[in-house]
A and B are shown apart, each in its own frame.
Chain A
Amino acid sequence: MAKKILIIDDEPDMVTFLSTLLEDSGYDIVTASDGDEGLMKIKSEKPDLVSLDLLMPNKTGIKMFRELRKDPEITSIPVVMVTGFATDDTPNMDFKKWIHERSIRPPEAYIEKPVDKDALLKEVKRILGQ
């Protein structure tokens, strides 16, 4: 049975691109355009993996990620964090470090925009153990 991936991103272009890419690679795709909808879909769809955009309206990616990790029901779901920030350019916004300083488990993978197709697929496969 095909693994289910939830794509959470406020940019429709990104959603289209990621869902096309992952669908073509044989995954079932569910999408959400903000944090609240994302949390709802996680609970209703029970995806095997979540691709989460960092900056979004109605709960930013970080805020949503924190809630996901705090909820014992869904805390085990692996997360690929998709970020538009190049951490080298904006060292003040080093959110990876910020997340690691918190007491919650960090995301399973980080993918930076622009998304490298092969790198994303490789990470997804690794996380899902394929």
Chain B
Amino acid sequence: MLKNAVNFVKKFTRSLSFKLSFYAGLVMFLALLAFSYHTISSQEAGLIKKMIQDSIKDSEVIKAAIWNGMMKKERGVIRQIINAIGKTEGFKEINIYDDKGFLHYTTSQSSAALPIDMSNDPFLSDLRVNTSNRHKLSGDGHILTVLNPLINTQSCSSAACHAHPESEKILGAVELKIGLDTIRREISQNSYKTVIFATALFVVVCTISGAAVLLFVNPSIKNLQRKAFKMARGEYVPRAPTIGKDEIAELGRAFDSMSVQINQHTAEIESSRRMYKALFEEVPCYLTVIDRDFKIIRSNRSFKAEFGDNVGQHCFKGYKNRTSKCNNCPVEKTFYDGVSHQSEETWNINGHKCHVIVKTSPIFDEKGSVIQVLEMAMDVTLLKRLQFRIQQKQEEYQYLFENVPCYLTVVDSDFKIVRANNLFTRDFGFGEGLRCFEVYKKAGHKCDNCPVEKTFHDGQSHFSEEVWRKNGEDTYIIVYTSPVMDDKGEIISVMEMSTNITEIKMLQGELAVLGETIAGMSHSIKNILAGLQGGVYVLDSGLSRGRDDRIKAGWAMVKNNVEKISDLVKGILYASKQREPEYKNYELSNLLVEVCDLFEAKARDEGVELIRNFEKEICTCLIDPGGIHSALSNLVSNAIHACRSEDSETAHQVVVSGRLENGGLVIEVSDNGIGMSEEVSQNLFTKFFSTKGSHGTGLGLVITRKVIREHGGSIRVESEFGRGSKFIVEIPCRETST
């Protein structure tokens, strides 16, 4: 019971409302006491001061009465007046002293005989010299004593009665003793009242402030307290907004907003905790947390499924069933240096040999030292197997790339060759770093209609046919391009595959030639037929009119055209490989002379100068003289024709030259005739052309080229329209054989 009460008091004295009200009341109480003390003190001083003044006035009255009595020699009157005043309330005593300090008169009841020597009284010690009024408090402040000296006046010294010599300044003094009991009583009464009032105020203030705290503050604080407890249990959710405008309400609102944020953060932390937990458990690799003793303290689902619940065991035992720590242990390294480590190992899982990548990460405590290590082991056996297969495929493709029987290059967007296959490297040298057009065509700029560029642009395959000039010979190439893309589908390079189609092109050309030859041939035949018809007409006319000249002329025409047919057939035979070349040892200069002789007359007729620009002996080698003869005849005939077709008045020349150069025969037939447009000269050997109308069979250059090729040689042309042409024939000079 007592204990309960003590507890209650303890609790009460600790409560905020008690402290607040108690201290507020105490401050009020002390302030009031201090104020009252000050007021009462000053009041007391004022009262005493007034009392002194009043007493001095009274002493003056007494002095006047004394003087009057002295002057009128009526000492009885003096006594009466003094007695009358002495009976007034408050007066204790009125004493009159002479200048030697002898008490001559007093209102006190003491019956001692007067005068009484009082000169020993320290208050009276300076009686003879001090002319001013003075006072003292005695008897514990209850008695006020005022001393007013009696000053010698002229009337006193000159009066007839007795002489107060003039030399005496002070004749005596009047002393008034006044009781201060009444005043003291009043003051102490006031003091008591003040203390009572202050105590009452203290009680009232304590009660009111305590009640206010209990009424207005305590419930809100209790409420907050309750909320805080709920929040600590994770149950608090603010529902209604806190009403009110005071600081407590503000505090409530701040608390609510804080609780909302705390709830939110808690939820976030909780969800990320769950996520990490799930991650840890479900991640498709073996995860364990290992302490400094290499013991497994946590493991995830994958690990448990594969190795069993080995928590508490050593990791080397759990993972590998070893009895001691592995060499080169990444966990140990991570404990040592606090960074991640990785190792690749071969494990035996369920009797299968597996490739595993082990990675470790440190787990730090708050001081930053490694307390645990997270070990992550991933089975990459499948990946390894795939890697191996990819490598195999890569090698296969590499082999294909290198050994495919065409030129294969990979070109970047700057046309630079990034890779090239064996065939390319063999034929062009290793072209890496060079641009494709520089290597393939020896050109300084990219080709028109470039298929690589097109593929970079649209990502599609393209192809183009190209002509490469190699060793003076045209090589026909078909180029296919395909995009090479990265994993994002962006074109990073283009594969360029070039196939030599010269053989096909030649066949194609010959087919075209054949077609056009037939067209040209029918034209020639038409002309020959016209000639034959004309001849027959003239022969007929001669026969019917009996005119021999016409018969002769007509017959000559018939014969001439039959010869033309014969020539034509020979030409066709040349062109269609029917004629086998007959190789003989022959001096080239002789052949050139023969050809020039053959055309000398014709050239003269056409006004063309035929210039022989060769030595008497050039070289004797194995050639088909018939074939070369017809080939050169063609060139010379063409050259003369080119001069004839030219309009201008310049002196026309055809120059036939022959020489031995680098062990080969070089024969040139040049003219300053009409020349050829680029189009004509480009298509000269691939397409069939005749610019000679009825005069040409259209087979000349085809036969020429055929013959030269049979000799392993080449023919090319340099020509400029309006300036002339130059045909250059190069034939290797073959050794004489029997």
Contacts and interface: CB of A to CB of B under 8 A. Distances in A.
A57 B607 contact: yes
Given A20-B541, A115-B530, A84 B694 contact: yes
A13 B535 contact: yes
Interface in A57-104: 57-58, 60, 63, 84-86, 89
Interface stretch (B40-48, B348-356, B519-527): B519-527
Given A20-B537, A20-B538, A57-B607, A13 B519 contact: no
Interface residues of B, number: 28
A4 to B, nearest CB: 20
A119 to B, nearest CB: 13
Contacts of B541: 20, 24
Contacts of B647: 60, 63
A16 B561 CA distance: 14
Contacts of B606: 57
B537 A13 contact: no
A50 interface: no
B553 interface: yes
B519 A17 contact: no
A43 interface: no
B721 to A, nearest CB: 14
A13 B607 contact: no
Interface string B589-633: 000000000000000011100000000000000000000000000
A55 interface: yes
A92 B443 CA distance: 33
Contacts of A26: none
A57 B644 contact: yes
B534 A14 contact: yes
Given A13-B557, A16-B553, A63-B647, A84 B527 contact: yes
A3 to B, nearest CB: 19
Contacts of B554: 16, 20
Contacts of B523: 86, 89
Contacts of A60: 645, 647
A115 B695 CA distance: 16
Contact of A17 (B529, B534, B693): B534
Nearest to B690: A90
A21 interface: yes
B425 interface: no
A109 B535 CA distance: 24
A63 B538 CA distance: 30
B359 interface: no
A85 B644 contact: no
Interface residues of A, number: 21
Contacts of B527: 84, 113-114
B535 A17 contact: yes
A117 interface: yes
Nearest to B552: A16
A16 B526 contact: no
Interface string A6-32: 000000011011101100100000000
Contacts of A55: 693-695
A21 B560 contact: no
Given A86-B523, A113-B530, A17 B538 contact: yes
Nearest to A55: B693
Nearest to A90: B693
A93 to B, nearest CB: 8
A34 to B, nearest CB: 10
Interface of B: 519, 523, 526-527, 529-531, 533-535, 537-538, 541, 550, 553-554, 557, 560-561, 605-607, 644-645, 647, 693-695
24 contacts: A13-B531, A14-B534, A16-B554, A17-B534, A17-B535, A17-B538, A20-B538, A20-B541, A20-B554, A57-B606, A57-B607, A57-B644, A58-B607, A60-B645, A63-B647, A84-B693, A84-B694, A86-B523, A89-B519, A113-B694, A114-B527, A115-B530, A115-B534, A117-B537
Given A13-B534, A16-B534, A114-B526, 16 more contacts: A13-B535, A13-B560, A14-B534, A17-B531, A17-B534, A17-B537, A20-B537, A21-B537, A55-B694, A57-B606, A57-B607, A58-B607, A89-B523, A113-B526, A113-B527, A114-B534
Those 9 A-B pairs whose CB atoms lie nearest each other, nearest first: A114-B530, A17-B534, A84-B694, A84-B693, A20-B538, A13-B557, A16-B553, A13-B531, A20-B541
